[in-house]
Amino acid sequence: MGVLLVTGSSRGIGAEVARLGSRQGWAVCVNSSKSGEAAERVASEIRAEGGKAIVATADVTSPLEVEEMFERAKADLGPVTGLVNNAATEGSQGRVEDLDASATRRLFEVNILGPFLCTQAAVKQMSTRFGGPGGAIVNVSSAAAKHGGSGHYVDYAASKAALDTMTYGHAVEQADAGIRVNCVRPGTVWTEMNRLYMERDPEYADRIIAKTPLARAAEEAEIAKGILWLLSDEASYTTGAILDISGGMVAP
């Protein structure tokens, strides 16, 4: 199928995309900013099933580290033809008057600058304008881009809304280069991070589930399958799309 690079894939949705992607035939570059051990566990699982996987530790906000990660993937596996911009942070949580400016700055660096830099590096390998084979990019947004995250993480929601806009722009811009760019917008997902957060604030968890028509959180695999569909040839006429995988969650 090609070479798939998944940022933030040492755990959660990213790790599930890496594992399921390998089973579909992708050679996978597993990325983490610092959890080399966790990323290596994911890569080892893939290799144990007969797949190809490498680990590239890189901070997606660093242009140099991103460039080195993509060059490593190309050298070890071949040109990257699939990119999932999954790495993200929720930062500090609370009302706007309580948020820390430095944490919010870091949030936007990870959630927006990171996908921008990775897309830039991916285009240089994928683009038919540069002799590449073409490819597909999927950005991982959030239902928070719709509901705004009031009282909890408006900064996070704003960063994901910006990612939606970046998806539209890059989809149109790269259409003549053989690159499709799409986005998934998950709702509440049973990731390790969300489990811990909802244990700390069970009332918030109940409110979120109450706003979800399917009345439950998603499993990581349910989001990963949507991402992999957008990467696949089955979605060959799909670009600039946002796939809402939120159980029907609506804005408050």
List the catalytic residues.
156
The sign one gets for the Cα dihedral 8, 9, 10, 13 is positive
| Cβ 27 vs Cβ 75: under 8 Å | no
Using CA atoms, how far residue 8 sits from 29, 59, 206, in Å, is 11, 9, 27
- Structural tokens at position 178: 């053989």
- Structural tokens at position 64: 């140099």
Half-sphere exposure of 176 (CA within 13 A, CB side): 2
Which DSSP letter does residue 203 get?
Answer: H
Enumerate residues 6+ apart whose C-beta is below 8 A from 154: 96, 148
Residue spans of alpha helices (H) in 7-135? 12-23, 36-48, 63-76, 101-108, 114-126
Residue in this structure with the two tokens 């040839």, named with its chain if needed = 233
- Tell me which amino acid residue 110 is: V
Q: What does the alpha-carbon distance between residue 250 and residue 144 come to, in Å, rounded to a whole number?
A: 10
